[in-house]
Structure 1
Amino acid sequence: MQITVLKSKIHRVTITDCNVNYNGSCAIDSIFLDKAGIHEYEQIHVYNIINGNRFITYALCASKGSGIISLNGAAARLGEVGDLVIICSYGEIHESQINEHKPKSVYFKKNDSEEWPFPARFKDRSSVNLLVNP
């Protein structure tokens, strides 16, 4: 039997722009997409930590290193600049693979004095405020 599992997660990232006049999607810094293993045009789920809104859209690549997280089109009405969100993608695997499956997660922190969540789990600290688990 196939089951749906978390494939990738960008955790607690800040919305930098909302553009209701754009056709749709969520534009995300291409570095964040690459680190999380999310592809352009891949379906994503966005969970707004501040207001509780949850919605499905697709990922667009924003400029590398820009830090952009932009809600576009109708999704722009579900968040505000400064809101924290979690961005997830899901995939299908055979249930026999569940014990080997490990989703890829990218975590953010506000500043250098903030502690990383679960620091022992992570290997890649290649960006000052970005932490990726394997």
Structure 2
Amino acid sequence: MLISIDRTLLDAAGFLINERVEIYNIETTGRFAIYVIETPDGSGTIGLNGAAARLAMTGDILAYASFDVAEANAFKPRVVLVDRENRISPT
């Protein structure tokens, strides 16, 4: 299963191609792992592909990582706010 993400959003959020991310369905509490693929820059695409498209909805994407203490103390999370067309919002 794959998730397609606009190149602009990949860069803004810090996702890597083929990175494993978790999808959590907020309504059903279902969870599954999926891998990131790129869609064209500026397309606004964030989409689940194949069977995954039936398992989650908008707002259910989550990525996380494991850190040692020093890395965790230095880590700064990225939050990317988007409009209805998945274009990055200034606020």
Q: TM-score band (shorter)?
A: 0.7 to 0.9
Does 1:107 pair with 2:81?
yes
Cα distance in 1 for partners of 2:80, 2:27 equals 19
Change (3 A) 1:56 1:130: farther
The TM-score normalised by the length of structure 2 is 0.76
Structure number, greater radius of gyration = 1
Deviation at 1:109, TM superposition (A): 4.2
> Residue in 2 aligned with 1:114?
none
The TM-score normalised by the length of structure 1 is 0.55
CA contact (8 A) 1:28 1:60 kept: yes
Unmatched segments (≥5 aa) in structure 2? none
Cα distance in 2 for partners of 1:128, 1:67 equals 6
Which amino acid letter does the alignment assign opposite residue 6 of structure 2?
D
Deviations 1:12-58 (A, max 9, x none): xxxxxxxxxxxx20101111111001011110112334554332100
TM superposition outliers: structure 1 runs of 4+ over 3 Å: 48-53
> Residue in 2 aligned with 1:60?
37
How many matched pairs?
91
> Residue in 2 aligned with 1:46?
23
Cα distance in 2 for partners of 1:57, 1:34 equals 18
